[in-house]
């Protein structure tokens, strides 16, 4: 498996598992639960790398300014390719959020 190097300003996509009775329009891999009351699904979140920590964690910023800490080796995290950056450009946080704390 290839190690990915991240740096501040990189646009990343994080795949989040969710469960609810009403999956949203961006949900994919939708599966009903045993009782049929809820659905399990995944949603892609579009974040920006703010900081790299010495312990291998990344500080990521959401579009609304929240901060998340994720391991750089997390298999659910990936760098956005040029097509994702173009296609989802409005869903990524602005580069100006790098300086905000």
- The answer on pLDDT for 95 being more than 80 is no
The continuous run of DSSP H or E covering 71 comes out as: strand 67-71
- Label residue 100 by pLDDT band (50, 70, 90): low
SS3 77: strand
Domain map (residue ranges) of the chain: 11-94
Instruction: Please give the share of the chain, as a percent, with pLDDT higher than 70.
Output: 91
Tokens at residue 32, please?
């009903």
Rg (CA), the chain: 15
Q: What is the pLDDT of residues 64-92, one digit of tens each?
A: 889 999 999 999 999 999 998 888 888 88
| Rounded distance between C-alpha atoms, residue 14 and residue 48, angstroms | 10
| pLDDT, tens digit (0-9, with 9 covering 90-100), for 21-39 | 999 999 999 999 887 789 9
Average pLDDT of the residues in 41-67: 93
Q: What is the pTM of this model?
A: 0.84
pLDDT surpassing 50 at residue 1: no
d(CA 18, CA 41): 5
């Amino acid at each position: 498996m290839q190690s990915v190097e991240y740096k501040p300003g990189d646009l990343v996509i994080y795949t989040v598992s969710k469960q609810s009775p009403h999956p949203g329009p961006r949900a994919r891999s939708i599966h009903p639960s045993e009782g049929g009351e809820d659905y399990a699904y995944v949603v892609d979140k579009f974040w920006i790398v703010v900081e790299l920590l010495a312990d291998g964690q990344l500080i990521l910023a959401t579009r609304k300014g929240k901060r998340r800490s994720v391991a750089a080796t997390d298999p659910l995290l990936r760098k956005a390719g040029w097509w994702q950056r173009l296609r989802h450009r409005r869903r990524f946080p602005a580069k100006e959020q790098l300086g905000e704390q």
